[in-house]
Amino acid sequence: MNIVLGVSGSIAAYKSPDLVRRLREAGHEVRVVMSRGGMSFVTPLTLQAVSGYPVVYDLLDPAHEAGMGHIELARWADLILIAPASANLISRLAAGSAEDLLSAIVLATEKPVMLAPGMNRLMWANPFVQRNIAALSDANIDILTPGSGAQACGEVGLGRMPEPLEIRDHVTAFFQELENHAGKIDEDRGPLFGKKVVITAGPTVEEIDPVRYISNYSSGKMGYALANVAKNLGAEVQLVSGPVALPSPADVNLIAVKSADEMMQAVKQACNGADLFIAAAAVADYRVADRATEKIKKRDGSDELLLKLTKNPDILATIAKGPARPTLCVGFAAETNDIEENAKSKLQRKNVDMICLNDVSGGKVFGAADNEMLLFKRDGSITPIAKADKRIVAEKIFDAILELFSQSDRDIVNNS
């Protein structure tokens, strides 16, 4: 395959020549595009020697046809891989900037884009950087999770660019997935064309009074990633979402709700005639039995306020056990202890076809850009999904769902 490798201004650029060599060993053609910052860490001549192609960096180079090298390279590439991707470059890409050749190529391509960030641990953890990462991920740019360890600045933490072999393996898996799907996916329709998919996402908000509420830490990123993947696979998608700070996915019918009761009613209506229901929302188990119509005031002389809670509806069980059950029902389990036992129990109790298990002990997963999971199916099989960006995790979940649909179709044929 043809890979445009972008090298931006990070000390991790010293690994780029080795990355070029590893990609070429895997049989890929590699052309290198550098930012001015990247040239401060490794010379174009070095990368030209290992790639076999001249290294380019000028946005308007008269050596290219009509001086539009960004268009030529964007058309040539099967993948745009930027390694390392500095905080500065990530910021410019998130803003849609095209001030140099590398960022212009990203804007001018319809091909997949993959970023391998590399920066100081504090820069990686900065909320502005994480906001930019989230925006790029929502735009279907593949973000490789940085590694943790000693950094060139002497600090230790998350932010190291993945090693060249790791990046090569990720690229290989990416192309293999494309190849595996090529024979079974109709480019115009997709394997879920004609199927109606209902997905819940985010938290629910259970009001105590007009200014206070009970909720949880769910960001909705996993559910929104699932909605985007389902749409790309050709499905008609209904996304029932609690309050989140995420943009609405394109070509998805978004139904905004607040409470568990509102979500229950919306899901019942949306699941009419649905083929697949995925309950990814973090629904509050309880709500206040008697919501106050006015703000509850502090009481002099009392250090306690007692709230009576009542159980919320079980949305997943209601749909999965109901008379209008979709063909497949998939649930999520966020557990902190006895995680596998709880997931297996939930699989049976709620009459679902698959449980996607999150280990959220120690504050993991919630709000993060990446995730890792165990998938539990009714046949007793357990499929692990390694830690990766939530969009990649969503794609792997749908790989499992497509297998379940295939099995369901075979069962119908065998029983007819």
pLDDT digits (tens, 9 = 90+) for 110-135: 889 999 999 988 889 899 999 999 99
**146 is an annotated ligand-binding site residue:** no
Q: Answer whether residue 185 shows pLDDT above 50.
A: no
Say which residue, 226 or 302, is predicted with more confidence: 226
**186 is an annotated ligand-binding site residue:** no
Cβ atoms of 244 and 202 within 8 Å: the answer is yes
Q: Answer whether residue 234 shows pLDDT above 60.
A: yes
Q: Which residues contact 255 (CB under 8 A, 6 or more apart)?
A: 238, 239, 240, 241, 266, 270
- pLDDT number for residue 264: 96
Q: Answer whether residue 349 shows pLDDT above 80.
A: yes
Could you tell me which CATH number the domain at 2-183 has? 3.40.50.1950
**58 is an annotated ligand-binding site residue:** no
- pLDDT number for residue 369: 72
Q: Answer whether residue 67 shows pLDDT above 80.
A: no
**332 is an annotated ligand-binding site residue:** yes
Question: CA nearest 129: which of 98, 166, 92?
Answer: 92
Per the annotation, the verdict on 271 as an active-site residue is no
- pLDDT number for residue 66: 39
Q: Which fold has domain 196-290+307-414?
A: Rossmann fold (3.40.50)
**390 is an annotated ligand-binding site residue:** no
* Confidence band of 414 (pLDDT split at 50, 70, 90): low
> Of the ranges 1-10, 52-61, 149-158, 344-353, which one carries the lowest mean pLDDT score?
149-158
**Looking at residues 78-107, what average pLDDT do you find?**
92
- pLDDT number for residue 412: 47
> Of the ranges 43-57, 164-178, 199-213, 249-263, which one carries the lowest mean pLDDT score?
164-178
- pLDDT number for residue 278: 98
**295 is an annotated ligand-binding site residue:** yes
Question: CA nearest 285: which of 206, 367, 365, 364?
Answer: 206
**Looking at residues 199-227, what average pLDDT do you find?**
92
Q: pTM of the predicted model, to two decimals?
A: 0.56
Please give the mean pLDDT across all residues of the chain: 87
Domain with CATH 3.40.50.10300 in the chain: 196-290+307-414
- Written as one letter, the residue type at 327 is T
- pLDDT number for residue 362: 64
- pLDDT number for residue 411: 58
**314 is an annotated ligand-binding site residue:** yes
Segment (H or E) for 393: helix 390-415
* Confidence band of 410 (pLDDT split at 50, 70, 90): low
**243 is an annotated ligand-binding site residue:** no
- Write the pLDDT tens digit of every residue in 132-170: 999 998 888 999 988 877 777 777 778 889 899 999 988
**174 is an annotated ligand-binding site residue:** no
Torsion sign across C-alpha atoms 293, 294, 300, 303: positive
- Write the pLDDT tens digit of every residue in 323-336: 889 999 999 988 77
- pLDDT number for residue 355: 96
> Of the ranges 228-242, 289-303, 320-334, which one carries the lowest mean pLDDT score?
289-303
Q: Which of 153, 271, 329, 356 is catalytic?
A: 153
Q: Are strands 156-160 and 147-150 parallel, antiparallel or unpaired?
A: antiparallel
- Written as one letter, the residue type at 3 is I
Cβ atoms of 138 and 247 within 8 Å: the answer is yes
Phi, psi of 217 (to 5 degrees): -90, 5
Beta bridge partners of 371: 388
Give SS3 for 357. strand
Domain with CATH 3.40.50.1950 in the chain: 2-183
